[in-house]
Amino acid sequence: MVSTLRAEGMKKNRLLVIFMLMLMLGSTYADDDTSENSYIKELIYAAINFYELENYYHIAELPNRIPLRVLINDVVVKNYHHIKFGKPVLYVSEKPHIIFNSISVDNKNTAKVVFRYIPEGLKIKIILRKNSTWEVISSELKEE
């Protein structure tokens, strides 16, 4: 009887250890900073802070452009928690200010981002290189 109780206790301990390991491994993979999602978040940040775009925001004259609104689509699939103009960026399904058409990372240190700034009718393409942060190395800005 004592050995049966001891065996049951050991089984419970093993299950607890397995459960704890599964939790730890699951969170390790979900928070992996080298993942594509990490690059997407960094590249969205670089795009919304692109120095040539700053001249087109006109937030002093048009305060209704705050907070900045980014469309959730096939490229931007979730809320990435950015701040712009001192307010959280809103990731929305309608009435966006910015729509990302494509984000591609060529080799973990070169990327291309194509997006539109709807209020001003702009299409923007930026090529970035990653040093400590993503830096724009070339750009093309067109009024549509």
Q: Which residue has the tokens 């494509």?
A: 102
Model confidence pLDDT, tens digit, residues 7-52:
565 555 554 444 443 444 433 333 344 456 688 999 999 999 999 9
Residue 48 phi, psi dihedral angles, 5° rounding: -70, -15
**pTM for the full model?**
0.74
Residue-level pLDDT at 79: 85
Question: What phi-psi label fits residue 6: left (phi over 0), alpha (psi between -120 and 50 degrees) or beta?
Answer: alpha
Model confidence pLDDT, tens digit, residues 89-100:
999 999 999 999
Strands 69-71 and 90-92, how do they pair?
parallel
Distance in angstroms (rounded) separating the CA atoms of residues 49 and 24? 35
Contact in structure between 118 and 127 (CB atoms under 8 Å): no
Q: Tokens for 9, please give them.
A: 């206790």
